[in-house]
């Protein structure tokens, strides 16, 4: 969108919290390398503020915020902190490495939080706000203050809190719908009332942060903007606690597509939305649902005869935005076993991947192996193949060989060979079915006994030779991790997905133990 087109519109700042709130989704923990890759994608896309983590949470979180702060070139980098002296000092230490750093501090304000979690009076909360916001402002010039559970806070008390935070030096005021309780009309009214009645409201930017518990996070975010907010807090793919946050791609494209109804604009380069979605999905091991708005596999797919007829005559009959506007190609180039390295490298670049020499060679070999087993290799196959390869780098436990014997009404047995830290181990195990035998064999070989929370399989593309995409979520000692894998053989995909999740949950356990020792 050009500067001329935006001249009569007000700018809305995009605050992305994929690396903080998004990573708090059970099983979505990312490695440092994955966080840096996501941060790069956000920065290149034009995100205004990147909330990189919660520095006091662990040494790993602190180090990740520092690393992101050092790497990001354009965006402001924020660190989250409770209204506690140690939290704010830790956040300040982490973001001082950024070209533009922000401390984002918060405190509960709703009666239910004060009574059951904070155990504080309203006057005590006001004192905490004044003291901690001033502390943060002494460390950085850019301070954001949030009223946790603002939408269930009485307006008169919320006004006092906002006024106190601004007087203490807050430059951004966030009124989050922490539990996804609000409806758009009351969300609009809350922002409009606070902004119009707090004396120094013009000295701060107001922000929305909406959760999707009732499926209204995007609608509430846009209603808040209509009420005067000029910052939207969101995540790629709507990742986040419980039902997730407002999806960045949805709020951005809603403002862009319906500029007639909403006279606002962002500085997001929308053609990078699809790429960012894939990067976050791979890093978090959270697959994007097919019918997800903007970036889902079916977002620009048409199967109905009526829809296809309309699309052939004029794409605008059934598409209110073009696939190209969000970085999705209208047509798919079919890759096969006769494709060479140059064609494969060009296809990877088109799909948004840049791999090092070793990673490229491994991906190319897997592509050739897949092409030998399939008639056609589609873009979705290549995406699954590369994401699967990247997600398994550095795994302690790796699959070497597997043989499964299955008979109707008879035995189901898995003969498994894995390497654990480079040492080969062989086991055999029976189960009530093929998958049960495979998972039990892995547990026997690894000496680990995690609880299986989720197991699902779907096809990456159509046809009987389609790759199977397997998804596994495991829980062990209070830690949850997800894994996925794609293979033409469903059983192999299942085994590799289980190993991917097991490797991740073991990494998380190690990080947690390290953090506990440090604390």
β-strand 423-431 against 412-420: which pairing, if any?
antiparallel
Residue pair 50/39 in contact by the 8 Å Cβ criterion:
yes
Q: What is the pLDDT of residue 508?
A: 52
Phi, psi of 326 (to 5 degrees): -115, 10
Phi-psi region of 504 (alpha: psi -120 to 50; beta: other; left: phi over 0): alpha
Q: Binding site, residues?
A: 21, 209, 211, 245
Domains of the chain: 10-284 (3.20.20.70), 301-390 (no CATH), 397-506 (3.30.160.270)
Beta strands in 210-359 (DSSP E): 231-234, 264-265
Contact status, residue 435 vs residue 412, Cβ threshold 8 Å:
no
Cα-Cα-Cα-Cα torsion 243, 244, 249, 254, nearest 10 degrees, comes to 60
pTM: 0.76
Distance between CA atoms of 427 and 122, rounded to whole angstroms?
62
pLDDT score, position 274 = 93
Question: How far is 161 from 411, CA to CA, in rounded Å?
Answer: 66
Tokens of 285: 């091991």
Binding site, annotated residues for Mn(2+): 21, 209, 211, 245
pLDDT given at position 517: 27
CA distances from 487 to 339, 386, 517 (A): 19, 12, 40
Token digits for 482? 């997800």
Cα Rg of the chain, angstroms: 25
8 Å CB contact between 129 and 144: no
Per-residue pLDDT of the chain (519 residues; tens, 9 = 90+): 555 567 678 999 999 999 999 988 888 889 899 999 999 999 999 999 999 999 999 999 999 999 999 999 999 999 999 999 999 999 999 999 999 999 999 999 999 999 898 888 999 999 999 999 999 999 999 999 999 999 999 999 999 999 999 999 999 999 999 999 999 999 999 999 999 999 999 999 999 999 999 999 999 999 999 999 999 999 999 999 999 999 999 999 999 999 999 999 999 999 999 999 999 998 998 989 888 999 987 776 654 545 556 655 666 776 788 888 888 776 444 466 767 777 788 778 877 788 888 888 888 888 888 778 766 676 767 777 776 665 555 678 999 999 999 988 888 999 999 999 889 999 999 999 999 999 999 999 999 999 999 999 987 766 666 778 898 989 988 888 888 888 888 999 999 999 988 988 876 544 433 332 233
pLDDT of the residue at 364: 87
Residue with tokens 């709020």: 251
Predicted pLDDT at 408? 86
Residue whose pair of structure tokens reads 């997600």 in the numeric block:
391
Q: How far is CA 11 from the centre of its chain?
A: 24
What the block records as the tokens of 468 is 């199977």
According to the model, what pLDDT value does residue 435 have?
95
pLDDT of 426-472, one tens digit each? 999 999 999 999 999 999 999 999 999 999 998 776 666 677 889 89
For residue 410, the model assigns a pLDDT of 83
Give me the pLDDT at residue 468, please: 84
* Sheet-wide strand order for 468-476: 451-459, 468-476, 479-487
Concatenate the DSSP letters of all residues of 215-269 into one string. Answer: S-HHHHHHHHHHTT--EEEEBGGG--STT-B-BHHHHHHHHHHTTTTS-EE----
């Amino acid at each position: 969108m050009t500067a001329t087109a935006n001249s009569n519109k007000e700018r809305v700042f995009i605050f992305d919290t994929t690396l903080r709130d998004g990573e708090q989704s059970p099983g979505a923990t990312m490695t440092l390398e994955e966080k840096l890759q996501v941060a790069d994608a956000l920065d290149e896309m034009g995100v205004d503020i990147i909330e990189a983590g919660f520095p006091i949470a662990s040494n790993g979180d602190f180090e990740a915020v520092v690393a992101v702060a050092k790497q990001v070139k354009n965006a402001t980098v924020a660190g989250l902190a409770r209204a506690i002296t140690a939290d704010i000092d830790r956040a300040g230490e982490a973001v001082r490495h950024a070209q533009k750093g922000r401390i984002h501090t918060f405190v509960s304000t709703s009666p239910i939080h004060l009574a059951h979690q904070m155990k504080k009076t309203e006057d005590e909360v006001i004192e905490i706000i004044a003291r901690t916001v001033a502390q943060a402002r002494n460390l950085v010039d850019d301070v954001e203050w949030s009223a946790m559970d603002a939408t269930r806070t009485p307006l008169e008390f919320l006004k006092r809190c906002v006024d106190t935070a601004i007087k203490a030096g807050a430059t951004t005021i966030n009124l989050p719908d922490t539990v996804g309780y609000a409806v758009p009309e009351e969300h609009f009214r809350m922002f409009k009332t606070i902004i119009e009645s707090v004396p120094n409201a013009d000295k701060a930017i107001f922000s929305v942060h909406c959760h999707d518990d009732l499926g209204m996070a995007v609608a509430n975010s846009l209603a808040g903007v209509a009420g005067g907010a000029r910052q939207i807090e969101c995540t790629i793919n709507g990742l986040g606690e419980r039902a997730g946050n407002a999806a960045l791609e949805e709020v951005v494209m809603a403002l862009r597509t319906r500029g007639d109804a909403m006279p606002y604009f962002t500085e997001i380069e929308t053609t990078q939305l699809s790429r960012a979605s894939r990067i976050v999905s791979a890093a978090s091991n959270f697959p994007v649902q097919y019918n997800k708005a903007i970036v889902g596999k079916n977002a620009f797919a048409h199967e109905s005869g009526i829809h296809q007829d309309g699309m052939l005559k004029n794409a605008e009959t059934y598409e209110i935005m073009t696939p190209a506007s969000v970085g999705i190609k209208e047509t798919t180039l079919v890759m096969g076993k006769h494709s060479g390295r140059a064609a494969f490298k060009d296809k990877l670049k088109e799909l948004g991947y840049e791999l090092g020499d070793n990673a490229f060679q491994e991906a190319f070999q897997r592509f050739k192996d897949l092409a030998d087993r399939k008639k056609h290799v589609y873009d979705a196959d290549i995406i699954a193949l590369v994401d699967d390869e990247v997600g398994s780098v550095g795994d302690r436990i790796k699959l070497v060989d597997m043989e499964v014997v299955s008979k109707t009404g008879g035995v189901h047995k898995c003969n498994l060979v894995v390497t654990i830290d480079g040492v080969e181990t062989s086991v055999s195990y029976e189960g009530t079915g093929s998958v049960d035998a495979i998972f039990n064999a892995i547990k026997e070989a690894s000496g680990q006994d995690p609880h299986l929370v989720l197991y699902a399989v779907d096809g990456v593309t159509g046809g009987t030779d389609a790759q199977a995409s397997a998804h596994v979520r495991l829980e062990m000692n209070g830690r949850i991790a997800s894994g996925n894998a794609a293979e033409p053989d469903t059983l192999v995909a299942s085994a590799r997905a289980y190993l991917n999740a097991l490797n991740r949950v073991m990494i998380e356990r190690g990080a947690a133990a390290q953090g506990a020792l440090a604390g």
